[in-house]
Amino acid sequence: MSRAAILGFARTPFGAQNGSLRELPPEKLGSTALCAAGQRAGVDGAAIERVVLGTVLDAGRGPNPGRVVVLEAGFTEFAAGPPALAVRAGGGAGLEALAIAASELEGDRAVAALGADSASQAPYLLPEARAGSRLGAGRLLDGAAKDAWDSSDEELPLPALAAIALQSLEVSRAQFLEARALSVARARAAAGKGEIAPVAVHSPSGAEVALEADDLPGAKDASPGDEAYAARLADGAAALVISTPERARALGRADAPRLLAVARAAVETRKAPLAPVAALRALLVKTGRKVADLRVVEVDESLFVAPLVARRELSLDLERLNPRGGAHAYGHAGGACGLRALVAALAELDSRGGGLAAVAYGTGVGGGIAVLVER
């Protein structure tokens, strides 16, 4: 894994559900992030030999949305374009895509990992429609909410499990709102510097404009539904192009960031909101590193409780934790979230003069993944 060099990274702006990116399918968002990462890497589509997509809100998107991203990116100018794979693993799906892509590196190959989802375009589902609803009312399920927040073998959705965990930690609503406000303030201060690739959208007048700013749905006033302590759903994409150190040197990028390690962990489903912390612990054990060694730490903020537990149990100071804000500011854009956090960590390391960064996200149903990078 230490032989993976990160040649380029980029993300789209993140939009609120039914916000500024509502007209764009996730494959369009993904192709925008992918092309921008390739341009920053100095690698064209012909040199990318594999694409791995992380996604969650994929109902109705076809048998291989990863290949659709390849087509949308125009890589078919180079014969058929690279083969692609889609992996489904909660907010950490993009990080899992990165781990898979890195495992396939050899020679002077370049591969790409991305995460892309759109809560705005996620469909509603009719579970009884296939067999037919014979009598009485049928169910209409929100595909975005089910795929983002379902805890599978628990009756309660993930936000409710997070709220229960917060109660046991004696966290007040005022503390929750204060943490969310800090997340928003940090996101506004960072303004996506070094991260964002513009996306073309239509203005109310119908003119095409370049969108370069996040919607920051977390900046909206708190509503009664926020007692579940979950981030609002969102749209967005992020991508990285990686290769071997040898290829990086050939491109004049000997100083490119390195992907050093990946670790995974699993907890009981009722404790699923804490899985990112378990994965972060596993990463520290695997690499022999300490929290004090990390200059930036990104912990899944979509359910709020994980960063709080990381601070309390790992003695992680606030200055290094989610320094550019987290999901409570940007929203929860399915499988794009983990890679958005990694892109933010890499950009933040650039601004801080380098160092180590760890990113830990949930992968659904009690699973978690954490990655360690060095700049």
Q: What are phi and psi of 298, to 5 degrees?
A: -110, 120
* CA 241 – CA 253 distance, rounded (Å): 13
Candidates 225, 229, 260; CA nearest to 242 is: 260
In a domain, 146, yes or no: no
**Exposure letters 70-97 (e unless 16+ CB within 10 A, then b):** bebbebeeeeebbebbbbbbbbbbbbbb
Overall domain count for the chain: 1
Asked whether 84 and 101 are in contact (CB, 8 A), the reply is: no
In a domain, 197, yes or no: yes
CATH number at residue 13: 3.40.47.10
**Max Cα-Cα span within the chain:** 68
* CA 61 – CA 151 distance, rounded (Å): 22
Full residue range of the structural domain in which residue 181 is found: 4-123+176-374
Q: What confidence score (pLDDT) does residue 77 get?
A: 59
In a domain, 169, yes or no: no
In a domain, 349, yes or no: yes
Low-confidence ranges of the chain (pLDDT < 70): 1-2, 76-79, 152-154, 222-228
3-state SS class at 324: coil
Which single residue is written with the structure tokens 């380029």?
8
In a domain, 160, yes or no: no
In a domain, 40, yes or no: yes
In a domain, 166, yes or no: no
The model's pLDDT over 179-204, given as tens digits with 9 standing for 90+, comes to: 889 999 999 999 999 999 999 998 88
Residue 106 CA: distances (Å) to CA of 101, 311, 348: 11, 38, 29
Q: What confidence score (pLDDT) does residue 241 get?
A: 95
In a domain, 230, yes or no: yes
The model's pLDDT over 130-177, given as tens digits with 9 standing for 90+, comes to: 877 777 777 888 899 888 888 766 677 888 888 888 878 887 778 888
Based on its alpha-carbon atoms, the radius of gyration of the chain, rounded to whole angstroms, reads 20
